[in-house]
Structure 1
C-alpha cells in the first residue's frame, strides 16, 4: 500500500512559548514510537533538536521525523512528519533519507546559524541628544515601525536591558577611544565582552560587534594601526566564550577610504589606506564578515550640486550614468556607491566579500551652504530607499547579492556637533512622531497618513520565514505525495 501520510504539522514564526523543544520531546515520549535518535544542540541564543523515531509491527512501520528550534529572539520552527508504510515497499530507504535530508538541511547538522541581518532594512539608533524617549519607548517605536535590525554606537546597558525579549536584532559597538587598548590586551577585550555582551545574552539578541567607526581614511595612523589587533582580540575572546558563531565582528568605513569612486568600476582603495585595509579584509574573509560602508548620496550631492543630478541621488527618474568599462547602467547613486565598493574589493583581491551599508540617509535640514538639505528631499530619499531595499534585489555589478542597509538615523539628535545637517537625519522626532511620512508608524498613531501607512508592493519582512524553508516544505510534501 506504500507510504500513507498520517499527519503533518508545519508551524513557522510561532512565539517561543508556543512551540519549542519541550513540545518535541513530549511528542516523542507520548507517542507509540521509540526514538532512535534525539539530538539537542544549544548556543547562547538558540536551541535546536532533531528527533527520528520508528515503531514497527509485522506489517507496517511508522516514522516520525521532527526538527524544532527554540530561540528567545522570536524565531521558532517546528516541523514533524508521521508516516506509515508497508514493510514490503522497497522505496522506503530512499524516501527515509529524503526526509532526513529535509529535516537536517534547514538548520545544518544540529545547530541553527544565527543571521546578523534579517531582511534588508535596518536603522541606526544614535543618542547624542538630551530629549529622546527612554529606550523602552524606543523598542515600542521600532516594533510599530516594523524595523527589526538596529545598530547603536556603544553598548549602553539601559538600551541592552530595554531590548530584552523584544526580538529585535542589535549590533553594539566599541568606541574608537577603546581600540588602542583592546588591540594590545586581549584580556581587556574579554573583559569588555563579559561586561557588555555576555550578561545580556540570550534575552537581548546581540548579533554583532562593530569595532570602531570610520577608523581608516582619517588622520590618526596609530588608531588605524590598532584596528586589526582590536578586531582579532574581540573575535578571539568571542571564540573562547563560544559566541563567535553567533556574533559577527565588523567595522564600518567611510567613503574616505577610496581613492576615487567614479565611474564605479574605477574605484580603488587609497594607497595610504591599503596597508591597513588589506590585512583587515584578509581577516574578515577568514571569519566570514562583510565589508560595511557608510554610503551617502546626500554628501556627494552637497559637495557638487552643480554637476550631480539631484534626481539621480534621490532615486527619481533621470538619465542615469553609463560605466563604459563594465557596460553597466546606473539609475541611482546609491547602487553606484555600493558597486564602487565592490570594485575596490575586487581590485584588492577580495571580490567574493559582501558589501553591506552600515549608514545611509538624507538630512531634512541644514545650513544655507548645505545644498539639498530639505524635508522634501529627505522624504523622497528615504521613501524611495525603503522601496528599493524591500524589493530584495542586488546592484548592477552584483545582481544576485541582495542589498542590505541600515538607515541613518532613528532620531534627530540635537547635540550632534558639526554642520546643522548632522542634527536632522532622523526619521522620527524626539517625541516619537514621524519627521515626515515615508510609511512608518510613530508613537503617535495619527502621525502617519493613511495614504502612505503601507507601501505598495512592499512585504512585511521582519518576521517572515525564509523562502528556502517554504521551498523545502513543498519539496517534502511533494515527495510524500509521490510515494503514497
Structure 2
C-alpha cells in the first residue's frame, strides 16, 4: 500500500467504501505510533501509505467526510518539559514534516497518544501523582509562556502544540487519540491500581465534558479517546499492558467511572450493554468509540 496507489485504492474500496453510508466512518488512522518507535523503513512506508490512501479517498470523492491521519507517541518529541520547550526529535523530522505538510493541506489533526500514567511511572520520585490524576496539586509553571498547569494531560497537549509551532504548523489541531490508566500491574508498577485508574478516567471524563481548551490554546476544545474499552488479556509485556480496559476480558466491568446504565455479563460476553447513556455533545457521543488496541480504522459515531 505504501508503494502502490492501486493497492491503496483496492483497500479503500473493500474496507471503507463498501460499508458506506450505512457505517459512519469519519477517519482512517494509518498505523499507530510508528515514528520514533519503529525503524526508518517503517517510517518511509507510513508516509507512502498515508499519501496513497488520501489519494484514493480523494479520487472516490470521500475526502470531504473521511480524514486521513496517524497517531504518535511521546517518542516523537525530543523533550516535553516545560511544555513550551517541546520540539520534534531529529530522527523523525524528515518524515514528520512530510506528514504535517499533507495534514495541514487537507485539514487533518495531529493525533497524540498521551499517557500521564507512563510519564509518572518513568519518574515517580519527581512527579506528583496527583498532577497526573487531575487531583488538587501545586502543578507546574512554564516560565516562557507564564502559564500554570494543574494537570499533566493539558501539559502534554500543549507540548505537542509547541512542537507543531516550532515546526511551522501552529494552526494544526491536536487530538488525544489514546489516554488511560492501568488498573493492575507487576510488582514494580505500584501506580497501576483500580483506585488510580478509576480516579484518572473519572476525572478525564469530567475534564472533557467541560469542553474547554488548554492553558496555551484556551479556545480549542480538548478532544480525547479513552484507552481502552476492554482489557487485552492476551497482550504480551508488563501486566499493566493488559489492564487498561474499563471492562475485563470476560465482559464484566473493571471499575465504575460513573456512567449510569452500564451493564455487564461475565457469563455471556456478547451481552454488553450501554443503557440510557445520552449523547451529550462530543464527549458523551464519542467516549466509548475508543481505541481498544492499535486500530487502523477509527470508526467514529456522530
Match of 2:53 in 1: 234
Mapped contact 2:209–2:283 kept (Cα < 8 A): no
- Ranked by relative contact order (alpha carbons within 8 Å, sequence separation 6 or more), the top structure is 2
Residues 1:196 and 2:15 are matched in the alignment = yes
The counterpart of 2:111, out of the listed 267, 282, 292, is 292
Mapped contact 1:432–1:443 kept (Cα < 8 A): no
Cα distance in structure 1, aligned partners of 2:134 and 2:47: 36
Match of 1:435 in 2: 254
Cα distance in structure 2, aligned partners of 1:277 and 1:355: 14
Q: How many residues align?
A: 275
Match of 2:202 in 1: 383
Q: 3-state SS of the aligned residue for 1:206?
A: coil
Q: TM-score by structure 2 length?
A: 0.87
Residues 1:279 and 2:98 are matched in the alignment = yes
Cα distance in structure 1, aligned partners of 2:70 and 2:236: 22
Instruction: Report the more deviating stretch, 436-445 or 361-370.
Output: 436-445
Mapped contact 1:363–1:422 kept (Cα < 8 A): yes
Listed as ranges, the matches of 1:46-195 within 5 Å are 182-195=1-14
Residues 1:460 and 2:280 are matched in the alignment = yes
- For residue 275 of structure 1, report the CA deviation from its aligned partner: 1.1
- For residue 229 of structure 1, report the CA deviation from its aligned partner: 1.5
Mapped contact 1:439–1:454 kept (Cα < 8 A): no
Cα distance in structure 2, aligned partners of 1:392 and 1:255: 24
The counterpart of 2:62, out of the listed 243, 246, 249, is 243
Mapped contact 2:33–2:72 kept (Cα < 8 A): yes
1:215-257: CA deviations, max 9, x gaps? 1002410111122211111011001111111111000000000
Structure 2 gaps of 5+ residues are 266-274, 286-302
Cα distance in structure 1, aligned partners of 2:44 and 2:127: 35
1:162-213: CA deviations, max 9, x gaps? xxxxxxxxxxxxxxxxxxxx11100000111111111111101111111111
Cα distance in structure 2, aligned partners of 1:368 and 1:310: 18
1:282-316: CA deviations, max 9, x gaps? 01000000000000000000111111000000000
The counterpart of 1:357, out of the listed 176, 181, 196, is 176
Query: What CA RMSD, in Å, does the superposition of the two structures yield over aligned residues?
Result: 2.1
Q: 3-state SS of the aligned residue for 2:112?
A: strand
Residues 1:207 and 2:26 are matched in the alignment = yes
Cα distance in structure 2, aligned partners of 1:463 and 1:256: 27
Q: Which has the higher strand share?
A: 1
Q: 3-state SS of the aligned residue for 2:52?
A: helix
Residue 464 to residue 367, structure 1, CA distance change in 2 (3 Å): closer
Cα distance in structure 1, aligned partners of 2:173 and 2:79: 20
Q: 3-state SS of the aligned residue for 1:396?
A: coil
Structure 1 gaps of 5+ residues are 1-181, 446-452, 466-484
Larger Rg: 1
Residue 337 to residue 238, structure 1, CA distance change in 2 (3 Å): same
Match of 2:35 in 1: 216
- For residue 459 of structure 1, report the CA deviation from its aligned partner: 8.2
Mapped contact 1:305–1:371 kept (Cα < 8 A): no
- For residue 443 of structure 1, report the CA deviation from its aligned partner: 2.8
Match of 2:126 in 1: 307
Cα distance in structure 1, aligned partners of 2:128 and 2:283: 37
Match of 1:332 in 2: 151
